Amino acid sequence: MTRISLVRHGQTDWNLTKRIQGSSDIPLNQTGREQAEATGLAMSGGSYDAIYASPLSRATETAAIIAGHVGLDAPLPVPAVAERRYGEAEGMTGAEILARWPEGTPVPGRETRESVVERALPALVGLAEKHPDESIIVVSHGGVISSLVRHVTAHALPGPGEVIPNGSVHEFVYDNGELTLDRFNVNTEDRDLFTASVL
């Protein structure tokens, strides 16, 4: 059994202004760095064997900060867990998107949730198989995490109105060829959960 702690990166200025980032490489802001520090501190009671990250800088920097707290080397890049591409909607707010593309209208260049799962799920499985009976950290993005959570829970999670906060941790287990969700939205105050969740 392999445990995967899937972490959402810290806040960016575009998160703060509710602008869609997608594949745009927007860096962490100071709040985002503080969130990464808090997540790393919360995870420091556990034992981890490796850390990986999306190559987008907001994820890579979050992972590097966490790595410092859990005693790991610099994170290794995994392009398949980069954020969902939003095409022409990147840089826009939700209201701006709806004004330009009303509900049900396809946004040019926006990646489907299904295609996100098709690239991200095999990547996580590959990492799990590379680390049998170990615990690893993967820092990714809200769109990727929500797509994976929806997939493995048959859309039971996230629930209505439930969000995936910056710096949140989602615990997955890979066992007998199957990836399942163990804990959803573990927050930085749940240190006992972080400690108990590792092998």
- The length of the chain in residues reads 199
The residue among 53, 36, 21, 4 whose CA lies nearest residue 166 is: 36
Q: Is 83 among the residues known to form the active site? A: yes
Rounded-to-integer distance, Cα 42 and Cα 65, Å: 12
CB-count burial class (<10 Å; 0-12, 13-18, 19+) for 75: buried
Rounded-to-integer distance, Cα 4 and Cα 180, Å: 10
Rounded-to-integer distance, Cα 150 and Cα 104, Å: 20
List helix spans (H) across 101-140: 113-130
CB-count burial class (<10 Å; 0-12, 13-18, 19+) for 118: middle
The one catalytic residue in 37, 61, 69, 83 is 83
Catalytically active residues are: 9, 83
